A and B are shown apart, each in its own frame.
Chain A
Amino acid sequence: MDLKKYEKLAALNLSEEEEKRISKDLTDIINYFEILKEVNTDNVEPLVYTKGAKLFMRKDEKQKSLNKESLKKNRELFNGNFYKVKKIIGD
């Protein structure tokens, strides 16, 4: 597994030690799926959602948005009228 690739996709910067630990964890997880693979699922429909879960929809009606004063409380993130976000790799 190419851990570097996933580090990049997840915008993470891991130390060597963290890489070692996570690499082991991920390998264990993948190995666990190898065990699951042994089960015969020939006649089983893939289950993606909890059985019977129903999608609820809402009417196209306006609800109150957040008030600007409450947004401004977060000085780290909010600057003037805008959210301020550190540039991300690849940007």
Chain B
Amino acid sequence: MEYKPTIGLEIHVQLATKTKIFCGCSTEFGAEPNTNVCPVCLGLPGALPVLNEKVVEYGTKLGLALNMHINKTSTFYRKNYFYPDLPKGYQITQYSIPIASEGFLEVKTSKSKKKIRILRGHIEEDSGKSIHTGDITESEYSYIDFNRSGVPLMEIVTYPDIETAEEAYEFLVLLRKTVRYLGVSSGDMEKGALRCDVNISVSKGETLGTKVEIKNLNSFRSVRRALEFEINRQIETLKKGGKIVQETRHLDERTGETKPMRTKEELNDYRYFPEPDLPPLILTDEYIEKIKETIPELPNEKEERFVKEYGISEDYAHEITASIEVAEYFEEAAKLTGKPKEVSNYLMVNIMKFINENGKNIKEITFGAKEFKELLDLIDSKTISKNIAKSVLEESLSSGKTPSQIVEEKGLKQITDTGEIEKVIDEVIKENPKPVSQYLNGKKQVMGFLIGQIMKKTKGKANPKIASKILIEKLNALK
């Protein structure tokens, strides 16, 4: 029997509100330390929390998008522990009844489609940030920046339905897409707007193995690497007759190995109790309905629709819908040109390459749906060949000029005037007696060479279909 991994994720999503969850301080990232603080988020005695309604809105929205049930009554709790960056000595969070429970996301991997169930989603406040200067173990003090203290989070906890590193990775990718589609979070892992802890065990039978937690994974790649390493480590340990220790580990980014971490809370006793400063949060059916109406088409739905409606490949649909901006760009151009396949090709091959190489955003480029139509019309009317179209597109992307402008200025118009093409062909036949006689002796492959010569003389502007038709006629006439 094979060892089977069992993996669960705990993800903190930073909600993109302007102000903190319980006070009016700004949530701006990267502000000068301790400039966005007030008595509430510093935990000064007597200060009272007042809930930000946007946090409730975003939490509800995200819950609904993750197919969760929204609890009409949810409550706030105090989670008590001592840590320098937690000024009140407790974190205000949700506990017994969170704002959202029981949902799922359907994740696609290279092998299959799978529903990953979500246990709960609760809203809570973030802690401050300890700044370590010098030697951490030597210093008698911690230095704290409380700008992050009170920034709103939604914690998403999955069921242990995940069985591979790839599934975990794809879940996170889809979650990030979803929060971005909704506009409830930037989803930037590098900026801490999405943080992921994983729980993992391996076992052979029904009884689950000993659970190990991996904390502080700060990129999608780290999650995947940490899980790949840890699955392997646990299986190898068990195969050798060893035991898995229940512990918290972290990923060493340099080596890709997970290592045991010294934990701050050996006593895992948070003594949760209801937050007396905040009465229950009560949501009406009308409120939930109203939020539901603001949910846009979600990534998976959009992807499926693009395949069905526009007939583009599943891979392209997946990549195009990775970003809502790219998806909107595609759809606008596909509709205006009526040529979704061509649009998807140029978009994924040429435009995305330009964007990635130049560190641009799709919204920043001047080549939009209108320019797309112009370009495809130029091909359609045989004004330019597909080959030339590519260079026109590239030129348009970098210079900002329209396709017709470029064709005009550079004289790229395809030659469809048969008289002009005939003239060139006559020259080519005259200048290449050897290939011509080879052709006449039945060596058809030299056609390619002769067409190449015609293209060279016309700088690629001859219409290849017309050119080859005339060439064959002329060669046959020589027989």
Contact = CB atoms under 8 A, between A and B. Distances in A.
A33 interface: no
Nearest to B282: A55
Given A49-B274, A55-B279, A85 B267 contact: no
Interface in A55-89: 55-66, 68, 71, 78-89
Range for the number of chain B residues in contact with chain A: 35 or more
Contacts of B54: 59-60
A85 B84 contact: yes
A44 interface: no
A86 B23 CA distance: 26
Contacts of B144: 82-85
Contacts of B279: 49-50, 53-55
A90 B140 contact: no
B74 to A, nearest CB: 10
A58 B274 contact: no
A5 interface: yes
A90 B131 contact: no
B53 A55 contact: no
Contact of B84 (A54, A79, A91): A91
A63 B276 CA distance: 24
Given A57-B51, A58-B52, A60-B19, A9 B142 contact: no
A57 B140 contact: no
B151 to A, nearest CB: 13
A61 B84 contact: no
Contact of A71 (B34, B53, B265, B282): B34
- Per DSSP, chain A at the interface is loop
B445 to A, nearest CB: 71
A20 to B, nearest CB: 23
Given A68-B34, A87-B142, A88-B83, A58 B50 contact: yes
Nearest to B31: A65
B23 A63 contact: yes
Interface string B245-280: 000000000000000000011110101001010111
B37 A57 contact: no
B60 interface: no
B51 A65 contact: no
A60 B27 CA distance: 11
Interface string B42-78: 1000000011111110000000000000000001000
Contact of B34 (A48, A61, A81): A81
Interface residues of A, number: 37
A11 interface: yes
Contacts of A8: 267
Contacts of A61: 18-19, 24
B141 interface: yes
B47 to A, nearest CB: 11
Nearest to A81: B33
Contact of B51 (A55, A63, A79, A80): A55
Contacts of B42: 66
Nearest to B143: A82
Contact of A66 (B19, B33, B38, B264): B38
Interface string A1-24: 000010011010000000000000
A56 B50 contact: yes
Given A9-B80, A57-B53, A81-B145, 16 more contacts: A5-B269, A49-B274, A50-B279, A57-B52, A59-B53, A60-B17, A60-B52, A63-B25, A65-B36, A66-B38, A83-B128, A84-B142, A86-B141, A88-B82, A88-B83, A90-B265
23 contacts: A9-B267, A11-B82, A49-B276, A55-B280, A57-B51, A57-B52, A58-B24, A59-B52, A63-B19, A63-B24, A64-B38, A65-B24, A65-B26, A65-B35, A80-B143, A81-B34, A82-B145, A84-B143, A85-B141, A85-B143, A85-B144, A86-B142, A91-B84
Interface of B: 17-19, 23-26, 32-39, 42, 50-56, 75, 80, 82-84, 128, 131, 139-146, 264-267, 269, 271, 274, 276, 278-282
